[in-house]
Structure 1
């Protein structure tokens, strides 16, 4: 699993305080540790979308030129809701890359 990533581009991205748009991203496969961290950090009763946001904040290794430590659940919370499907599709693509090849 180490080294497996996907790249993509958000539809609208994040515009920082200097007006720079950050849209190109790279995501690694989320781990059980990412899920555990998300469950511990998210508020009690968090919906699946909120948990995904917390997980993605750790799985995104790059968002534009932002350093990884700036990619937080709070930053992702401010993205347009259409970005959810972009990030969800990236996570699904990663899962496909990790699946063993069929023995056909």
Structure 2
């Protein structure tokens, strides 16, 4: 069965207007529509760097107890969390899973590490 949603835990966490910290969330696989529709957004047309903000707001299905993950939430992330989510997005959409192949620097053994645990 194809896994389409992936849990994660942000390294720092999003702090909402009331001061609540939100670290755990879920990201789904992106669709072609997720990658194409934001190109019509005036914010992306004015600043192509804004594309990833809209993309992440579309594919994050949950972040803590927030009722909605929208571009303003993504804009408010700490840089480390933003980079973590960009990496997770690339990993799950390029590989179809959230595991990375790694090699132990001491014994040269090869194994897989689940990326969702890397934010902890």
CA distance in 2, matches of 1:18, 1:45: 31
Residue 14 (str. 1) matches residue 14 (str. 2)? yes
Max Rg structure: 2
Structure 1 distance, partners of 2:22, 2:12, is: 9
Give how far 1:42 is off: 4.5
Q: TM-score if structure 1 supplies the norm length?
A: 0.77
Unmatched runs of 5 consecutive residues or more in structure 1:
99-104
Higher strand share: 2
Structure 2: unaligned runs, 5 residues or longer:
98-120
Would you say 1:47 and 2:48 are equivalent positions? Answer: yes
Counterpart residue number, 1:26? 26
User: Map of 1:50-61 to 2, 5 A cutoff?
Assistant: 50-61=50-61
Q: Distance in 2 between matches of 1:42 and 1:60?
A: 21
CA change 1:28–1:83 in 2 (3 A) is: same
Q: CA deviation at 1:46?
A: 2.2
Q: Structure 1 segments of 4 or more deviating over 6 A?
A: none
Q: What residue number does 2:80 align with?
A: 82
Aligned residues of 1:38 and 1:54 also touching (Cα < 8 A): yes
Normalising to structure 2: TM-score of the pair? 0.68
Structure with higher RCO (Cα < 8 A, 6+ apart): 1
